[in-house]
Each structure stands twice: as structure tokens, then as C-alpha cells.
Amino acid sequence: MLLVLALAVLAIPFVVPTVWMVAASLKPLPEIFALSPWTDQPTLAAYKEAFTFQPFARQYLNSVYIAVLVTLITLVVSALGGYAFARIRFPGANALFLVVLTGLLVPSEVTIVPLFQLFKRAGMINTHWPLILVTALAAPCVLATFIMRQFFIALPVELEEAARLDGLGRPGIWLRICLPLAKPALSAVAILTFLASWNLYLEPTVYLTSPELFTLPQALTRFTDAYGGQMWNTQLAAATMTVLPMLIVFVLAQRQFVEGLAHSGLK
């Protein structure tokens, strides 16, 4: 009982902000700083304003489509690379794997200065290309390739040999035998990558200038009035819309989330 009490107290800073966010987003503006989570006049005005003040629907769509695209590309690239590094013997494989691992050593905050110049030269500033290309092929993807490699190394090789005797080539073995078995690793990679893309903040801040191209994290910080003051209720409403879908999916697929994200703690 004492244990549960201690845990409940510890849990306060983990739970209260989210609950407070939702509660405050439903309050009329004058009550927003009131301590009581309850209001007699709940209102969706802040939610409406989020969509009129900025092209929020468009920004939401940007975040979703970029994250989906990045996840799909990463799944393919990492499943291909991870498989080859684990299973196929070719000259220079170890050296190439070391090259790939440098992607885990170098923070994106370091490469963004030169990358900005590169994308400027390519005419890709204020487009989604840098967000998609770099995220899908650099840091999170390298971690994904590493995870896939570890998975394929542990997979019994006999299954493939049987398929090979049946006349299946490498690509066929990869597609029909190995990928279906790799579902747990693929789902871990998908969750990890989706969240990495969904959370990007530095990159959109650096590359994007038009509000209709913004992604959600960037858009959330732009709900300020003409004097630079924060429009708290609109901001909290927008934050609620950003956070709740993710929390719901997390509660439904908790095991996959925890397993997938634990990888990010031990790369």
C-alpha cells in the first residue's frame, strides 16, 4: 500500500501535465491560469482558433505524410541493408558497415550547418525534401539498419537454405522468407522512425519558412499574438491535438512501443 502511494506521488509530474493540458485547452481564456481543472463553461473556441490562426490542418497533414513516407523508406532501406550486412558475404562488407555506423556517431545538430548549404544549392530550402531525405537515410535509419542486422544475425540460417534449394534467389528469399519473419523488428523500426520524424524540431525550424509547409512541432511554437505573447489556450488546444492520437496508439500497442523505443536507449 505504501508502495502504491509512493508510486502515485512519483507519477504526478508524468501525468499531471498531460491532464492539465487537456483541461486548460477547454477553458475560456480568462480562466486559463485558474488552479481548478474544472470550468463551468467548457469551450472548443481554442480548437477552432488553432485552425483559423494558422493553416493547422495543412500542417497536421504535413507532419503525417512526412512521417509516413520517412517510415516507409526507412523500413525498406534498413531491411535491405540490415539483411545484407547480416547474411551476404561480399568484399568490403565490414568496412562499409563501419562507414554506416558513423551515422550513429554524428549528431544531426552537427551536420545541419553544411546540409543547409547543400540544400540551398540544390534549391530545396523551404521544401519538405531535406526533412524526408535526411531523416529517411541518415541518423534514425542507421539505427534501424543496425536493429535489422542484429535481428537477421539471430535468425536461423536453415530456413533460407531450404528456400535456396527450392530455387529461390536472394531477393526472393529476402522478400518471401525473411521479411515475414522480421515483423517484430520491423514494427520496432517503424515506431522508432515515425516518432523520430514526428518530433523533428531543429530541421523544420532551419529549412522551412512558409507556414503552410510547417510541421506540427514547429507550428505549435508559432501561436503568438501581435506582441509576441503566447496564445496559451490555442497553443494548448493544438498541443492536445498533436499529443492525444499518439498517446492513444501507445496505450493500444504498448508492448511494441516500449520494445521499439528501448532500442533508442541502447544503440
Partner 1 sequence: MSYWTIRRRDVLTGYMFVLPQVAGVALFVLLPVGMAIWYSLNDWNVFTGQQTFVGAENYAALAADPQLPKVLLATTLFSGGVVVLNIALGLLIAVLLNRKFRGVTLFRTLFFSPVVVSVVAWTLVWGFLLQDNGGINGLLSTVGIDGPNWLQHGDTAMISVIFTQVVRSVGVNMVLFLAALQGVPGELYEAARIDGASSRSVFGRITLPLISPTILLTVIVTIVGALQSFAQIAVLTAGGPELSTTVLVYYVFQQAFKFNDIGYGSTLALMLLSFVMVLTLLQWQLRRKWVFYEE
How far is CA 154 from each of CA 33, 148, 175, 266, rounded to the nearest angstrom? Answer: 54, 10, 17, 18
Residue 251 binds partner 1, judged by CB under 8 A:
yes
* Contact indicator for 136, 74 with CB cutoff of 8 Å: yes
By CB under 8 A, the residues from 135 to 194 that bind partner 1 are 136-139, 141-142, 145, 169-171, 174
Q: Determine if residue 167 is left, alpha or beta; phi over 0 gives left, psi from -120 to 50 gives alpha, anything else beta.
A: left
By CB under 8 A, the residues from 36 to 75 that bind partner 1 are none
- Smallest gap, in angstroms, from Cβ of residue 167 to partner 1? 10
Angle, to 10 degrees, between the axis of helix 56-87 and the axis of helix 45-53? Answer: 80
* Contact indicator for 224, 231 with CB cutoff of 8 Å: yes
Tell me whether residue 43 or residue 256 sits nearer to partner 1 (CB atom).
256
* Contact indicator for 145, 186 with CB cutoff of 8 Å: no
Judged by CB under 8 A, which of 70, 81, 186, 234 binds partner 1? 81
* Contact indicator for 82, 149 with CB cutoff of 8 Å: yes
In degrees, to the nearest 5, what angle opens at C-alpha 12 toward C-alphas 8 and 14?
115
* Contact indicator for 189, 74 with CB cutoff of 8 Å: yes
Tell me whether residue 45 or residue 104 sits nearer to partner 1 (CB atom).
104
By CB under 8 A, the residues from 207 to 246 that bind partner 1 are 216-218, 220-221, 230, 232, 235-236, 239, 242-243, 246
Residue 122 binds partner 1, judged by CB under 8 A:
no
The grid coordinates listed for 203 are 530541421
Of the candidate spans 7-15, 41-49, 51-59, 178-186, the one that interacts with partner 1 by CB under 8 A turns out to be: 7-15
Residue 21 binds partner 1, judged by CB under 8 A:
yes
- Smallest gap, in angstroms, from Cβ of residue 52 to partner 1? 20
- Smallest gap, in angstroms, from Cβ of residue 35 to partner 1? 4
- Smallest gap, in angstroms, from Cβ of residue 264 to partner 1? 7
Strand partners, 230: 224
Tell me whether residue 43 or residue 264 sits nearer to partner 1 (CB atom).
264
Judged by CB under 8 A, which of 40, 94, 105, 166 binds partner 1? 105
Judged by CB under 8 A, which of 96, 125, 132, 168 binds partner 1? 96
How far is CA 115 from each of CA 73, 112, 118, 135, rounded to the nearest angstrom? Answer: 20, 5, 5, 12
- Smallest gap, in angstroms, from Cβ of residue 86 to partner 1? 10
Residue 14 binds partner 1, judged by CB under 8 A:
yes
Residues 6+ apart with CB under 8 A from 212: 55, 58, 59
Judged by CB under 8 A, which of 3, 165, 226, 252 binds partner 1? 3
Q: Determine if residue 13 is left, alpha or beta; phi over 0 gives left, psi from -120 to 50 gives alpha, anything else beta.
A: alpha
Judged by CB under 8 A, which of 61, 202, 212, 224 binds partner 1? 202
Tell me whether residue 180 or residue 228 sits nearer to partner 1 (CB atom).
228
R_g of the chain, CA atoms, integer Å: 23
- Smallest gap, in angstroms, from Cβ of residue 96 to partner 1? 5
